[in-house]
Each structure stands twice: as C-alpha cells, then as structure tokens.
Amino acid sequence: MLKEPIQIGSFQNGLGSLGKLQQNKFVTLDNCDIHSETGICQPQLAMESESTTPNEACLEAIDNTGNIFAVSTTSGKIWKRTTAASWSLIHTNANGAHRGARYFNGFLWYWTATKLGTYDLASTYNDSFATGSDFREGIEANNTLLIANGRYTSRVDSTNTFSANEFVVPAQYKQTCLKNVGDDVLVGTYVSNDVAYCKAFLWDTVSTAWSYEAEVFEIGINCFVTLGEIILAQCGTQGRFYYWTGSKLKRFGKIRGITTALGEQKSVVYNGRALFANGTKIYSIHSEEEGLSIAFCGEYTCTGTINSLIVQGQTLLASVGTGFDKRGNNYATATIETAEIQAKISDIKVRYDVYPTGIGISTSINSADYVAQTETVNATEKEVSFNGGVIDGATSQVKIILTPSGSNVPKIKSIILQ
C-alpha cells in the first residue's frame, strides 16, 4: 500500500515523455483543454463534419477575404469555401494531383509536383504558368512567394515573374518545408527515406548561399511549427520536435506513440496555440503563460485521418479525406490516463471544480484492460471517489473519462491515489 497519497494534478504540464513511469504528467490526454483554466482539465470542443463536398484529401490556401481554396492531393480538383461555409467545385487542374496552394499578390497559386498554376479569383485559370521539378510547400516572404522545388527554392515576385532557382542547396537534399524567421527563411529538407540525416538551411532570401546549416539526425524535416517566437521543426518518423536556436536545431520534445511523415500543412496556430495534426488527432503545443512549461496535449479528434489544417477566422478546419471537419459547438468526451503506480491502491479520488456527473473512473491492474468502477460523489468535498476495496495488483493505472452533457462539462483539479 502507498504510505502517502499521490496527488496528480498540474494538468497544464500535459503529456509525459516517460511513458507509464511515474511523473507529474500524463500518459494520455485526449480531447482535453488544459490551458483555458491553468491547472484544470476539461473537455475540449469537438471536431465535427462540416461538409463532404471536398471528398478528397486536400491542402488549402486562404485569400484576403477569408475564402478558402482546397486543392486535392489526389486529383486536379479545386474547391472553394466561402466565409458562409458553402463549398463548391470551381476548377479541375489539367495537371492532376496538387502539392500545395497559396494566395499571393491577388492570385491563387496552386501547384502539382512540376507545374505551377494561377487563378485570378475571377474566371481565368492557367494550370501551367511555370515549370518546376518537385514542388512542395510555399510561403510568402519579403513580398514574394517562395516554393520549395527539389533542391531549389523558386520565387514568384510581385510582378509575377517566376524564378526557378533562387536558392540552391547541395544536390542530395530535397526541400520539404519553409518557414519565415524574421526576414529570413528556414528551409527544411530530406534526403531519402533510407537516409537518417537531413539539414535545415537559414537563408536571408537575397544571398545566393545560406547563413547557417544545421544537421539533424532524422529522416527529414516534416514541417515547421510556430510556437510563439519559437520555431519548432517536426522531424523524422517518431514524433520528435526540435527548436531553432538561431543557428542550430536542438532537441525539444516528442509526442510518444505517434508515427510522423512529410506533411507541410499539418500545423497551424489557432487561438494562440500551436496545433499539430497526426492521424485523427490534433495536439496542442502550448503554455498559457511565460514561466509555465510548454506542454503537449491531445486537444481534438477528427472524424478521419487528417491531411491538413487551416484556420478561417475563429474556425479550425481539417481536411479528412472524406470531407472537412470543423471545430463545432458541442464538447467532446475527454480521456485522461495517469502514469503507472507500483503499489496497491484502495482509494481513488478525483477533485473537481464543477459538474461531477460526467466523471468516470476506470482502473487497470497489472496492465490488464481498464475496468469501469462505481463512483461516489461527495459534493461538500467536491470529490468523486472510488473506494470499493483494495485494488490488488503490483501495478495500477487510472483512467478518467470526462463526459459532457450539453454545455455542462466536468472540470477536474487533481487525481488522488491512496
């Protein structure tokens, strides 16, 4: 038995990197909002299907009025979403599946692996405006559109002149993703799925050579994540993140248990939080205040595998292949899983702030499946507890399910094991 109770709280610390080992972090946080009220965990709003009209995996661009253009990554189809959330097919690119799109200089620019197209937002499309070799992510930087293009960075300037090879990296690298760093641009690369190193290059967008190069021993830089003034590089296949020091990439952290791959539009900033999509889940990487540690947290779950994210006003949208999900107005069911306790426990208490009805306690003994327990509510102490006898195992883990009812959402402060 535990000599002293263990109190697990500080939900703002987020997901742990130590697996089931004891720590003041969590093994699982799904659909959890751990930042709106620091220290409290509550269910997050749920992602729900908005439309099944773009029924293919898409990448998106947003124009200067909030219209979204979704370009299919499996065909030449281009859809438009108005600010009133009305989706329609507007064009089919004769060059086939897209690699990206971006609004720049009054035009929508969309590209396949080898062809850059333009749309004047009125009626004229040119699917073959320019030719490249391996287009990937494009960003706007210093009043130009930059697009990763194999070993080159291509540029469209403000006169719509296309320059194919503005910046060149050594021949073995392929540019994957780009990120503004002040006036400079950080260029992410990969070599091959069979080569476990790659580099990031910092380019001032004017010079012919880079200012810094930083090696990272991962299979590729998959995407960059803007975390306030920090730039993270999501690298490799095992969910690891590195941060840009100004001249190098240093280890930042990882999301345990996920598999990652190239995907330039898997990250957005939404309501001040950096979000990163993987599989069907959207994780936040955030601290609400300076001084608090930056936490990984599973905030949203989509209805399908996420291909890309985009934000329109206050609406978070995700392309899920069979359609688009949006953040809705209903709350999701949240799941919290604690670290493993190597002791018998006889008492589990969940201290709540409001709404005890939707707090469910499950236990896993010796790594067996979770078993739901019967809870007792003590409204005076604001505790939901299970004290149905000694849980007799060498190891114990606890899972808390927070089930909302309409706008009533459970908010919990800590979990006490004894």
Partner 1 sequence: MRKVIWKFKPQQSKNAKYSPDVAKEDGLRYIEQLKLEDDVAEVIEESDKFVIYLKDEQDK
Which residues are near partner 1 by CB under 8 A?
126, 128-131, 159-166, 168-171, 208-210, 213
Please, what is the minimum distance in Å from the beta carbon of residue 25 to partner 1?
A: 41
CB of 98 to partner 1, least distance (A): 18
**Whether the Cβ atoms of residue 68 and residue 310 lie closer than 8 Å to each other:** yes
- How far apart are alpha carbons 279 and 266 in whole angstroms? 10
For residues 176-206, one letter each, b for 16 or more C-beta atoms within 10 angstroms of the residue's C-beta and e for the rest, the string is bbbbbbeebbbbbbbbeeeeeebbbbbbebe
Closest CB 108 distance from partner 1, rounded Å: 17
C-alpha distances in Å from residue 203, one per residue of 88, 306, 409: 38, 30, 48
Q: Which CB atom, from 126 or from 367, has the smaller least distance to partner 1?
A: 126
- Residue 84 vs 171, nearer CB to partner 1: 171
Strand partners, 202: 186, 212
Between 123 and 380, whose beta carbon lies closer to partner 1?
123
* C-beta closer to partner 1: residue 162 or 276: 162
With beta carbons less than 8 A apart as the criterion, state whether 240 and 251 touch. yes
Minimum Å gap between C-beta 299 and partner 1 is 41
| Complete edge-to-edge strand list for the sheet that includes strand 411-417 | 6-8, 411-417, 348-354, 383-386, 376-378
Q: How far is the CB of 168 from partner 1 (least distance, A)?
A: 5
> Considering only CA atoms, which of 171, 200, 205 is closest in space to residue 185?
205
CB of 196 to partner 1, least distance (A): 23
Closest CA to 265 of 233, 223, 300, 231: 223
Whole-number Å distance between alpha carbons of 137 and 216: 20
Q: In the block, which residue shows the tokens 């073959």? A: 128
Instruction: Between 210 and 270, name the residue whose CB sits nearer to partner 1.
Output: 210
Q: Which is nearer to partner 1, 8 or 178 (CB)?
A: 178
Angle (nearest 5°) at CA 213 between 210 and 218 = 140
> CB of residue 14 vs partner 1: minimum separation in angstroms?
39
By beta-carbon proximity to partner 1, the closer residue of 83 and 126 is 126
Q: What tokens appear for 283 in the block?
A: 């994780």
Compute the C-alpha angle 379/380/382, nearest 5°. 55
Minimum CB–partner distance for residue 161 and partner 1 (Å): 5
Nearer to partner 1 by Cβ, of 137 and 213: the residue is 213
CB 153 within 8 A of CB 178: yes
Question: Which residues does 113 contact at the CB level (< 8 Å), separation at least 6?
Answer: 97, 99, 132, 133, 134, 135
Question: At its nearest, how many Å lie between partner 1 and the CB of residue 44?
Answer: 46
Nearest to 276 by CA among 234, 229, 326, 228: 234
Phi-psi region of 381 (alpha: psi -120 to 50; beta: other; left: phi over 0): alpha
- Nearest CB to partner 1, comparing residues 130 and 310: 130
Provide the minimum distance between the beta carbon of 129 and partner 1 in the complex, in angstroms, as a whole number: 6
Q: Closer to partner 1 at the Cβ: 131 or 367?
A: 131
